[in-house]
Amino acid sequence: MKQGATVYLYELAWILPSIAIPVGMLAALLVTAFGAGIHVPSVAGRIDPTRVTETAPFDQPGVVQTGPVSYEVRMIGQIWAFTPNEIRVPVGSTVTFVATSKDVIHGLFIPGANVNVMLIPGQISRVTARFDRAGEFFMACHEYCGIAHHTMGGKVIVEPRS
């Protein structure tokens, strides 16, 4: 009788973790996907990458106020620069980055602002971030785009509200 009970306990010691670990991983995935608001940036369409600067809204890159505390940044990634490379918004702003590339794959990464998106030639990407504290946020290209990739950067300047 003791022999059978011991085997049962050893089997139970393996069965419980083998169920608990996948359930825990699934719970973490669901919390991250829905509770933390982390999602894949949306694709807002495609344009001809050879005509980016002639196609709206990229024919007028820059910051456009779309509401009392919301802004849209129309941005182009190109060898080896962002246009615009300096963005100014007030504290508490919600900023939607509408961006694309006109030559090769670039990345747009803003540490501390939950912005991390690939800029693929002709594909329009959208990602939204909220800037709740004043300061400068560095923008970097995180996809190798050529020999001067390390020089491709810019900044978001979050200014106190007047």
Q: Give residue 85's pLDDT.
A: 93
pTM equals 0.73
Lowest mean pLDDT among 3-7, 8-12, 16-20, 73-77: 3-7
User: 122: which residues sit within 8 A by CB, 6+ positions away?
Assistant: 46, 47, 48, 49, 52, 100, 101
> φ, ψ for residue 92 (rounded to 5)?
85, 10
Q: Where are the beta strands (DSSP E) in 7-150?
A: 42-46, 62-65, 70-78, 81-83, 86-90, 93-101, 106-110, 115-119, 123-131, 135-140
Return the HEC string of 6-30: HHHHHHHHHHHHHHHHHHHHHHHHH
Condensed to tens digits (0 to 9), the pLDDT of residues 35-45 reads 666 555 555 68
Q: Give residue 2's pLDDT.
A: 56
C-alpha of 62 from chain center: 19
CA gap 88, 59 in Å, rounded: 19
User: 103: which residues sit within 8 A by CB, 6+ positions away?
Assistant: 49, 78, 79, 121
144, pLDDT greater than 80? yes
Mean pLDDT score across all residues of the chain: 88
Q: Which helix (H) or strand (E) holds 79?
A: none
pLDDT tier at 29, thresholds 50, 70, 90: confident
SS3 142: coil
Q: Give residue 65's pLDDT.
A: 94
CA gap 21, 80 in Å, rounded: 45
pLDDT tier at 103, thresholds 50, 70, 90: very high
138, pLDDT greater than 90? yes
Mean pLDDT (whole number) for 13-33: 87
Q: Give residue 25's pLDDT.
A: 93
Q: Give residue 36's pLDDT.
A: 63
Q: Give residue 39's pLDDT.
A: 57
CA gap 47, 123 in Å, rounded: 6
